[in-house]
Amino acid sequence: MKKIIENFRFLAMETENQVKMIHGLLAESEPSLLEKISSKDDYIDNLKTTIENDCFSEIHTLPKNANPKTINEIRAIHIVCVNLERIADFCVNVARQTLYLSDPRFIHKYNYTSMCSEAIKSLNRIPDVFEHKDLSGALDICRSEFLLDQFYKENFDLMMAELKKSSQSAQVADLVTSIFIFRYLERIGDSLLNIGEALIFAIIGDRIKIRQIDALQKTLSESGFEGTLSDIDITSIWGSRSGCRIGKVGDKRPAGFKAQGIFKEGTLKKIKKEKENIERWNALLPGIAPRIFGYYEKHATASMLVEFLAGCTLDQIILTEKDDVIRNVIFLFEQTVAEIWNSTLHRRNFQTDYMKQLQSRFAGIYRVHPYFTRLYQRIGNADILSSHALIENCERIEKQIPAPFTIFIHGDFNTNNIIYNHAEQKINYIDLYRSGDGDYVQDASVFLVSHFRLPVFDTELRERLNTATLYFFEFFSEFAQKHGDRTVDARMALALARSFYTSTRFELNYGFARTMYLRACYLMERICEHEGKDWEDFRLPEDILFY
């Protein structure tokens, strides 16, 4: 590790020196500087390769129980060095562009000095920021990108204004060349941003972008947190498909924030909607959703800090606990669901859109499984509809079968969005962005397929999942019967077809994904065959729920 850090320092110094020589070249047009910049390029490339090889070797030789902090530092050094080498390449490109200026002094009309000075200042700080784990220093390096963008925009606007009124070909050529030079200087800022974020990773142990750091600071401040980011631990929660940044936040030492939380950052529409839904859930059934500690909006993004709910997800319970515990949890879950469904039920026709949801996700399915879309075929006297025609037929039929009432649905009712707290004997809901008034069949179908699509093939574990599926389906059927929902089987067939089909895009096991695809097709074909008959007579083939 000592050798890596030593070479890392040399690379940072050499890259800084390249930018200094670029500044000198632009100021003085010294041919000797152009030669020095070019000659240093190979040395910097070789130094970066040496560090890269040493980083991989160091990680490979670390013991299995090695401190994650050490691994994070090595990974951060590698990312920093890749970007330092990229900055050195930009310097070579700037140097080469100066050869195309008809008059080397032409560039003096523009403010390249501020850009070079900002880059030099940030490059100079890199080794010390890494050594002292200086979070504010790392943030300053990140913010250099913003300043360099600003300087570039000011110079670019001046050059474009001159370009529009210039008629001399030599001046036009010099202006275009100058734009290229400033563009390379601006790209140094992009690499400095990558370097700053890598240093943040080495310091706090998690990959997080500067805008997310700013959002986290503001959101923590809104929550009443009085410390700095150095006082907290933040750990990414992977597996989110929402496009939002999600991380678990907790104390390193007492600093005013006494609870663990979940930090979410994403588009304003999504985060704001989830905030409103959490508030509605807690008004409906206090404590079912996490508390909101802090919320912050900025331009098109928003962030919030919500309570971290202790416990296990429902799928973890089913796969790991004993039968009596599982039955108790399922009973508690069904009681919670019944309370919500009964208290939010409103008698009114509601038009579902299961096929429209399927169509909106079709491109994603096709990218993963291009063979899960069939063309029209004719076998004997039988017409086999294409996938698109089958979905369009079902969409038309779906309009004939509105839901007779609505409830307040979760909207993404997967088993991993349902938390069981053993100590308090209660159920919690998380990930509530899609909540709203809708057909309870949507939540039920998503829940049932979330059991089915788990890639678990052990006989005993699969039996547990099938048993949990059966319990919930019986509960669901009793609810439908009690409330006089006579078209529930037809809507459930459409909803299950949607869930089976769209789930294939998350499953790379072709055989297992094909099983879900074929079940979706079968259900849609059954719906099409029944058209023209009474939808109250349609019966769902229940065996399709079990694997």
The burial of 119, by beta-carbon neighbours within 10 Å (0-12 exposed, 13-18 middle, 19 or more buried), is given as: buried
213-227, 449-463, 488-502: lowest mean pLDDT where?
Answer: 213-227
Tens of pLDDT, residue by residue over 133-180, are 888 888 889 889 999 999 999 999 999 999 888 878 888 999 999 999
Q: Is the pLDDT of residue 262 over 80?
A: no
pLDDT-derived band at 237 (thresholds 50, 70, 90) equals very low
Tens of pLDDT, residue by residue over 457-469, are 999 999 999 999 9
pLDDT-derived band at 260 (thresholds 50, 70, 90) equals low
* Backbone phi and psi for residue 493, each to the nearest 5 degrees, phi listed first: -60, -45
Tens of pLDDT, residue by residue over 265-321, are 788 888 899 999 999 999 999 999 998 888 888 778 888 888 888 889 999 999 999
Tens of pLDDT, residue by residue over 319-362, are 999 989 999 999 999 999 999 999 999 999 999 999 999 999 99
This prediction's pTM: 0.71
Q: Is the pLDDT of residue 417 over 90?
A: yes
Q: Rounded CA gap, 155 and 116, in Å?
A: 13
| Residue-averaged pLDDT of the chain | 88
Alpha-carbon distance values, 34 to 37, 117, 118, 206 (Å) = 5, 19, 21, 40
Q: Rounded CA gap, 476 and 474, in Å?
A: 5
CA-closest candidate to residue 446, choices 376, 501, 391, 489: 501
pLDDT for res 242: 47
Are the beta carbons of 278 and 292 closer than 8 angstroms?
Answer: yes
pLDDT for res 211: 58
Which parts of 205-306 fold into alpha helices (H)? 210-222, 268-284
Q: Rounded CA gap, 171 and 486, in Å?
A: 79
Are the beta carbons of 288 and 276 closer than 8 angstroms?
Answer: no
pLDDT-derived band at 223 (thresholds 50, 70, 90) equals low
CA-closest candidate to residue 271, choices 218, 336, 350, 337: 218
- DSSP assignment of 105-164 equals GGGGGS-HHHHHHHHHHHHHHHHHHHHHT-HHHHHHHHHHHHHHHHHHHHHHHHHHHHHH
pLDDT for res 220: 57
pLDDT for res 281: 96
- In the numeric block, which tokens belong to residue 321? 């606990």
With a pLDDT cut of 90, the percent of the chain lying above it is 67
Q: Rounded CA gap, 452 and 472, in Å?
A: 13
pLDDT for res 241: 46
pLDDT for res 240: 46
Angle formed at CA 334 by CA 330 and CA 337, multiple of 5 degrees: 140
Mean pLDDT of 105-114: 94
Q: Is the pLDDT of residue 227 over 90?
A: no
* Backbone phi and psi for residue 56, each to the nearest 5 degrees, phi listed first: -65, -40
